Amino acid sequence: MLILTQKEIKKILPLKKIDIVINAVQKAFSDYGQNKVQMPAKLYLYFKEFNGDLRIMPSFSETLKLAGTKIVNVHPDNYKKRLKSIMAVIVLNDARTGLPLTLMDGTYITALRTGAASAVATKYLARKEAKSLGVIGAGSQAITQILAIAQVRKLSEILVYDINEEAIKNLEKILANEKIKIKKASLKETAQKDILVTITPAKKPIIKKEWILPGTHINAIGADAVGKEELDPQILKKAKIIVDDWAQASHSGEINVPLKKGILKKKDVYAYLSEIICGKKIGRKNNKEITIFDSTGLAVQDLYTANIVYNLAKKKKLGKQIKII
């Protein structure tokens, strides 16, 4: 079994190569839309005493002939312990024999593939001439969201809002190394852009319906557990809703609370992103539509990204081989 650390993975797939991940994630969605993958919904273990949870995410790809399992935690209070709020590991198994091939850090991969998923959604759903981006939340996920979306749209303005100004300053420094400039703005100003990304742990809506302009595309990322929501449900009511997976989105995505309250029904969800990528459904029909991608994160996104990392690691002879069996 090949053991790969986060440091090694960053050598293999630095931020400047996020376009490779975007292509892998698009292929993952495409295969999902063509029923070439098996992917049960995430399994959650809740730790209420510690304000956290653990998620187990398995998948299998007929195309890759690989199975992958990610174990990932979400603990919003970890910053108090100087730990990341999201940490993960990924195991890949050869589907032909079941042999475990690699154990790798999944924390960085999670950030990469989540940003890549937003880029794919933006590519298919945002207006072609969209050039301004608003990002609500300046944590580590904001880095890959901005870098990935900049690959699919030529951005002339990037506004960022966070209740923690230090987080914005830190984000600004990191992105400066990638030749990308951001500007701090109010919550309302940030929401009124061509493309909006929400990546907060909010459990009550923070984005008001009157802020969202016609033609906006929204990548709703933060709602990833039961009870979380970032958008005023009335935004969802008047928008075209696209989910990554119905089972996950209805359980813990942006639509989960409005569904439970009866504000939304299953028929209000227009499509899976995979259906649009495969050409089974049309994405944006006009420049006035508000589109929302409800992203919960799919195990196949991790599988296809981890596969690239594994193959490049072997080629570059990185990592440590251990005999685990």
Which residues are designated catalytic?
A: 70
CA 322 – CA 325 distance, rounded (Å): 9
Q: Do residues 230 and 203 make contact, with C-beta atoms less than 8 angstroms apart?
A: no
Helix, strand counts (H, E) of the chain: 11, 16
210 CB burial (10 A radius; 0-12, 13-18, 19+): exposed
Alpha helix positions (H), the chain = 6-12, 18-33, 107-125, 140-152, 165-176, 187-191, 233-237, 246-252, 256-260, 273-277, 299-316
Cβ-Cβ contacts under 8 Å for 97 (sequence gap 6 or more):
none
Quick one: three-class SS letters along 133-188? EEEECCCHHHHHHHHHHHHHCCCCEEEEECCCHHHHHHHHHHHHCCCCCCEECCHH
Q: How many CA atoms lie within 13 A of 60 on its CB side?
A: 9
Query: Three-state SS for 52?
Result: strand
What distance in Å separates the CA atoms of residue 87 and residue 108, rounded to the nearest whole number?
8
Nearest to 218 by CA among 309, 284, 314: 284
Query: CB of 160 within 8 A of CB of 185?
Result: yes
